[in-house]
Amino acid sequence: MTQWIQPKEFVSALITELESLPSRATAPMRTVRRRYSKELRSEEAPYVFEVAQIILDSGKHRWIAYELIHDHPDAFHTLDRLKLEALGQGISSWSSVDSFARTLSGPAWRDGLISISTIQEWAKSEDRWWRRAALVSTVGLNVRSRGGKGDVKQTLAICRMLVRDHDDMIVKALSWALRELVVHDSRVVEEFIRCHRNELAKLVIREVMNKIKTGFKNP
């Protein structure tokens, strides 16, 4: 990529190509994104953040912006609470929250770029989407295919904060968070379910216990 190209030009070319695809399925869009990530490798982190912010401001393809940051090591490793919360402004659906938490905040927490205190603040938010982001961020600690090594203590600390939250988006995220932890320590997850059985939504109990017993949330 030529060094003189402005971020707006870069984003315009990226979005034009994305929107010219015959299919808006994730796989072909990600193929395009990966090619643009390669072009960003020679750029400095501030350039990448500017590109990402322009994409976010466009109201389209939010997950692409997050993946561009994740796949640029210098940009990713400058993430902190302030940057993450700025990048998370406007998350307002399960897909936008999950792409933010799985792609950025979860891996940033796993790699020590933010602490559990940040996640705890999100878990206490009045905004359901930030509470969901707190739970989905634990996935980054535990999914082996994404570098998670399993963190029982921190995962359960966040789950414990939201056991009484029966908002549908929170219930589903809580089930997900606990199910990802099952592969690391099923015994402690089962004990967590037992201790909080009277507070947890029935869906959480059913899906997590199914995972423990059969390996699937819905056998």
**For the segment 188-199, what is each residue's pLDDT rounded down to a tens digit?**
999 999 999 999
- List, run by run, the mean pLDDT of 10-residue segments along the chain (219 residues): 76 96 95 97 96 96 98 98 98 97 98 98 98 97 91 98 98 98 97 98 98 93
**What pLDDT was estimated at residue 3?**
55
Based on its alpha-carbon atoms, the radius of gyration of the chain, rounded to whole angstroms, reads 18
Q: What residues does CATH 1.25.10.90 cover in the chain? A: 93-219
pTM of the predicted model over 0.85: yes
Looking at the domain covering 93-219, what would its CATH class be? mainly alpha
Task: Tell me the helix, strand and coil percentages in the chain, rounded to 5.
Answer: 70, 0, 30
**What pLDDT was estimated at residue 1?**
46
3 state SS of 61: coil
Residue 49's CB is within 10 A of a number of other CB atoms, namely: 21
Phi and psi at 83, nearest 5°, equal: -65, -45
